[in-house]
Amino acid sequence: MWSDDSDEADIPQEPPYRYSLEEIRAAAEIVVYLELELGLDPRRLSVSVREGTVYIQGSVSSPELRQEIERYIPTRPGVKGLESSLTVREDEDDWI
């Protein structure tokens, strides 16, 4: 039973999310593709996978490059969805 004098420390906390091996592999494969196949600096992009959805954010140098990345990711094994926050900044040098 809850009381008004309960301490926040008494409220059960959700355990930290544990990434599956499949999620780790998918994220690593995507980062390798971005770096080796497209020549991007992986430090300019953030890629994570949670429950089959890939989350990617950062900036790229052209709309075509953004489209290529957004077409590639859903084709990877284990990927169920894509949440992309990629922006195009043509004045940036994304190449290594």
Q: What is the pLDDT of residues 27-66, one digit of tens each?
A: 999 999 999 999 998 888 999 999 999 999 999 999 999 9
In CATH terms, the fold of domain 19-88 is: Histidine-containing Protein; Chain: A; (3.30.1340)
**How much is the pLDDT for 43?**
85
Which of 29, 20, 40, 18 lies closest to 75, judged by CA? 29
**Full DSSP string of 8-50:** GGGSPPPPPP---HHHHHHHHHHHHIIIIIT-B-GGGEEEEEE
Tokens of 10: 């008494």
Check pLDDT > 90 for residue 7: no
Domain boundaries, the chain: 19-88
**How much is the pLDDT for 82?**
96
**How much is the pLDDT for 1?**
43
Check pLDDT > 60 for residue 2: no
Flag whether the pTM goes above 0.85. Answer: no
**How much is the pLDDT for 57?**
96
Phi, psi of 88 (to 5 degrees): -105, 125
Q: Distance between CA atoms of 7 and 82, rounded to whole angstroms? A: 39
Q: Are 41 and 29 in contact (CB under 8 A)?
A: no
Q: Are 42 and 35 in contact (CB under 8 A)?
A: yes
